[in-house]
Amino acid sequence: MKRKAKIAFVSVRYGLEINGGAELHCRMLAERLAGRYEVEVLTTCVKDYTKGTNEFPAGNAIINNVLVRRFLADEHIPCNEEYWLKKSKAARRLRMFLFKAGILQIISHFIKVWKWKLNDDIEAQRNTVFYSTTLLDYITGHKDDYSVFIAFSSNFPLFYFTAMAAGEKMLAIPLLHYMKPSFRVSLTQAFSRIRYTGFNTSAEQRLAKGIFGSAIQESGIISASIELHEPAPWEKVKAKYSLPEKYILFIGRIDRDKTGKMVDYYKAYRKKYNSEALPLVVMGNIYEHESYTDGMSYTGFVSDEEKRAILQHACLLLNPSRYESLSLVLLEALYDRIPALVNGHCNVFREHRKKSGGAVQCYTGKRDFVNKLHAATTDTDLRTFMQEKGKQYMEENYNWDIIMDRIDKALIKVSGTADADDTADALIN
């Protein structure tokens, strides 16, 4: 009797209550593949990465028909992490300098795996939040039980150590950003072992090749789409969160990497337009407290149904992050015809603007932010143009049929069972 191929997703956090793009990306793919493959998720018991403590119980659970195996994370001692990060810092800085000079990719043809400061950087990986000895021991001891390991986010230690334990069976989804952790020397070792890397956008793929060059084996664009939840009754949601009639909306983790200069720029917008300025509703879990200003309100974490209702009634979605590999919340806004203003210093957002024909507006500074925010909330012709272009761009490039076809082909490549032109049935053994 034939059995379905067994696939293990590796994610630092997992659950319905987890507020994060990488974690949602993982969950959406796992739940969709579960019908055709035997899918499991290997994750830690950490819920809040700022605490780094084990809040979920260890053991197995079923979440939306997916088996989730939770393992205790090791105790995180910040001073130990800081010590090893400091010892390995010189190598990261050198690699960033060479990247900015445009020669890091060329050097990769001669130095695929960087040895300088490698051991220090590996120790830094071991001492970060989400490192789990028991989870990694499980992968090592059960590697032969799985056809493919799909590991997420190169920023975190499970990505590196999964590559070291089972790189030849690994489909990596690195969610790479232009930030310091992407230049760790240990990642040169990881990518040299990874069988296939799936990127979210061409911009992310170009960044990865510029940093790691020939260390990357085969790669391609996989990306993701969105979940469409039935919106909660608007009047109830509006009353529950005391929402205004018209507002600008931010959705995501509330920490500086995601919010950037949002508060400072929003203050300038309110100062210029006074009574015309729209209030700003901030939605998501708070991991790093922002300074407060007039016109801002916080909802905290909301349900998926409430989130969609609040998004559908927003005048504009604001995403000030410089560090995105896709931005699922942007795709959700485009699908629901909500204009979006995003950080133009992010290559991924610039790619979305170009490929969508202007459905997404990018800002590059405070004055640009203020002017474009006002235009996108008041200019009827501009708003209509953005709404129509955004919906078209979303449906043509980010529907699940396209995404699942790509991931099926990537799984076949990693498993080595058939050519990529064959169907996913080739993975059944």
Asked if 41 and 31 count as a contact pair (C-beta separation under 8 A), the reply is no
Q: Is residue 360 part of a domain?
A: yes
- Across the chain, what does the average pLDDT equal? 92
For residue 172, pLDDT beyond 70: yes
Read off the pLDDT of residues 77-101 as tens digits, 9 standing for 90 and up.
999 999 999 999 999 999 999 999 9
What CA–CA distance (Å, rounded) separates 99 from 95? 6
Both 207 and 276 in a single domain? no
Q: Is residue 19 part of a domain?
A: yes
**pLDDT at position 429:** 43
- Total domains, the chain: 2
**pLDDT at position 230:** 96
Range 271-283 average pLDDT: 94
Q: How far from 107 is each of 91, 113, 162, CA to CA, in Å?
A: 14, 10, 26
**pLDDT at position 140:** 97
pLDDT band for 417, please (50, 70, 90 cuts).
low
Read off the pLDDT of residues 190-204 as tens digits, 9 standing for 90 and up.
999 999 999 999 999
For residue 256, pLDDT beyond 90: no
Asked if 61 and 79 count as a contact pair (C-beta separation under 8 A), the reply is no
Range 134-149 average pLDDT: 97
Greater confidence (340 vs 35) lies with: 340
**pLDDT at position 3:** 64
Q: Is residue 1 part of a domain?
A: no
Both 211 and 241 in a single domain? no
Strand partners, 319: 342
For residue 104, pLDDT beyond 80: yes
pLDDT band for 288, please (50, 70, 90 cuts).
low
For residue 427, pLDDT beyond 70: no
Q: Is residue 171 part of a domain?
A: yes
234: CB partners within 8 A, 6+ apart: 309, 312, 313
Name the E strands within 224-374.
248-251, 280-283, 296-300, 316-319, 340-343, 360-363
Both 34 and 101 in a single domain? yes
Both 403 and 392 in a single domain? no
Greater confidence (289 vs 337) lies with: 337
Asked if 394 and 335 count as a contact pair (C-beta separation under 8 A), the reply is yes
For residue 428, pLDDT beyond 50: no
**Four-point Cα dihedral 243, 247, 250, 251, nearest 10:** 50
For residue 300, pLDDT beyond 80: yes
For residue 154, pLDDT beyond 80: yes
Pairing mode, strands 59-63 and 66-71:
antiparallel
Asked if 196 and 410 count as a contact pair (C-beta separation under 8 A), the reply is yes
For residue 423, pLDDT beyond 60: no
Query: Tokens 């020939």 belong to which residue?
Result: 214
Both 313 and 193 in a single domain? no
Both 94 and 160 in a single domain? yes
Q: Is residue 271 part of a domain?
A: yes
- As a whole-number percent, the residues of the chain with pLDDT over 70 amount to 95
Q: How far from 112 is each of 12, 94, 105, 315, 327, CA to CA, in Å?
A: 27, 15, 10, 48, 30
**What's the whole-model pTM score?**
0.88
pLDDT band for 289, please (50, 70, 90 cuts).
low
**pLDDT at position 291:** 67
Both 19 and 164 in a single domain? yes
Domain that holds residue 241: 234-397
Structure letter (DSSP) for residue 346 = S
Please give the single-letter amino acid code of residue 143.
K
Both 11 and 26 in a single domain? yes
pLDDT band for 1, please (50, 70, 90 cuts).
very low
For residue 287, pLDDT beyond 50: yes
Q: How far from 86 is each of 89, 117, 161, 406, CA to CA, in Å?
A: 5, 11, 21, 40
Both 325 and 403 in a single domain? no
Q: Is residue 258 part of a domain?
A: yes
**pLDDT at position 249:** 97
Both 346 and 389 in a single domain? yes
Read off the pLDDT of residues 207-230 as tens digits, 9 standing for 90 and up.
999 999 999 999 999 999 999 999
CATH number assigned to the domain comprising residue 140: 3.40.50.2000
**pLDDT at position 56:** 95
Both 152 and 301 in a single domain? no
Q: Is residue 409 part of a domain?
A: yes
Query: Tokens 């109830």 belong to which residue?
Result: 236
Backbone phi, psi, residue 422, to 5°: -80, 170
For residue 338, pLDDT beyond 60: yes
Q: Is residue 407 part of a domain?
A: yes
Both 279 and 294 in a single domain? yes
**pLDDT at position 320:** 95
**pLDDT at position 421:** 39
For residue 313, pLDDT beyond 80: yes
Backbone phi, psi, residue 169, to 5°: -115, 15
